[in-house]
Amino acid sequence: MGIRCRTVAFASAVVLVGLGVIGCTPDDGGGTTTTTTPPSGIEGDYAVVAATAGQVTIVGSGSGASAQYTVSVKSPFRLSGALCSLPVGTVVATFSGVGPSFAATNNTFDAATCAVTSHTAVTTPTWLNGDNSLTLALNAKVGRYLLVRA
């Protein structure tokens, strides 16, 4: 079983190329799929385009089913609908497993102050895409973000 992702390109004034992810779902056998295996080096820096562009860093520990990953802000960016930018060092999400679908626990943020308001499991997992980018779904209110190797 693979995953199927639909994407739509959007214009950006920054050098980073961004894609807005419409959705990633487990493949039901129809359509084009991509089967992925997490690379040993999923850790590293990723560009993210939300309301503004920025970067996150993924740090990992463990391996296989016990692998744990933490996504934190490397350069500030503003989430869609927020009035502030997430500061450097802010933990955005954690996820675990071997992929391509990872169990995720994500922070939610106050739209005015960017303070963390909760850290909860989400029903939409983090996906490793065929091009080794990641689709991070913060929650239904905040939306999905494509993380591309920086």
For the stretch 72-116, pLDDT in tens is: 999 999 988 889 999 999 999 999 998 888 988 888 889 899 999
Q: Which two tokens stand for residue 63?
A: 């391996």
| pLDDT top residue among 25 and 72 | 72
- Which one, of 105, 135, 133, 108, lies nearest residue 121 by Cα? 105
Q: Region 3-10: what's the mean pLDDT? A: 31
Q: Is residue 2 scored above 80 in pLDDT? A: no
Distance CA 68, CA 60 (A): 6
Q: Residue 139: pLDDT band by 50, 70, 90 thresholds? A: low
What is the pLDDT at residue 46? Answer: 96
* pTM, rounded to two decimals: 0.71
**Which residues pair with residue 24 across a beta bridge?**
5
Question: Which stretches of 17-87 are assigned E, i.e. beta strand?
Answer: 19-26, 44-49, 53-61, 68-75
Q: Residue 19: pLDDT band by 50, 70, 90 thresholds? A: very low
Exposure of 114 in the CB half-sphere (CA atoms within 13 A) = 17
Q: Which two tokens stand for residue 124?
A: 């939409």
Range scoring the smallest mean pLDDT among 35-44, 49-58, 63-72 = 35-44
What is the pLDDT at residue 83? Answer: 93
Q: Which two tokens stand for residue 22?
A: 């419409």
59 near 93, Cβ under 8 Å? no
pLDDT tens for 124-135 read 788 899 998 999
What is the pLDDT at residue 137? Answer: 77
